Structure 1
Amino acid sequence: QMREDLWSRAPAESKASLSTVIAGQDNTFIVHTRDAEDNPRTSAITGYMGSTPAVPLSFSYLGGGNYTATINPVSAGDFPMHVLVNGGAPYRLVRVSVPCASAICQ
């Protein structure tokens, strides 16, 4: 059984997490991945924002189960983000607010 902490999270004591990305520009954040025994995962991950059209996340492996993720949303709104390991079903959904800071989404 996989734990659901596959999504971006800060140390437990801070309780910080991703809640907003800006449409019309690159947004970069860190994704931490762990297996059921709390070991770092090194599996291929993919992801997307469930907007219309869907916007893919791009990932670069940093080591130790950590990835840099980048997304450039094309429209403002409130959308779920999906992260998949080895092409499987999303392990966790995170809803993020996407304000518009560019003429691209007006």
Structure 2
Amino acid sequence: DISDLDGYINSGVLLMDADAIRAEPELMDRMQDMRAAQGYPTVDQDRINLLFRDRMTWLDPGWNCSWGRLSRQRRLQQGLPSTPPDSGPMILHFHGPQQTVAQDALSGC
């Protein structure tokens, strides 16, 4: 059931332990069941949340930094099982109508 949003993740940037997944043949089979995934509104994202509920560690928001929002994203994620914060963004996510140059964006993260 994915209606409980506690612990729901956005699957935009994932770091997966492929060896651990391959060590569980039933999990591998469920991951490869594309028909089961098609029944969810966000397809892969909902399916990933269902399959890995209670098995995830949140990446520090710097791994998918929305420019200008890193401090706020880290504040919102406090208390969740998470990787330690790094000094800055590792992946810089440009979105929205406002355009910027990379140097300006990096100073905003």
Q: Normalized against structure 1, the TM-score is what?
A: 0.25
Q: Higher relative CO (CA 8 A, sep ≥ 6), structure 1 or 2?
A: 1
Higher strand share: 1
In our comparison, the structure showing a higher alpha carbon Rg is: 2
Higher helix share: 2
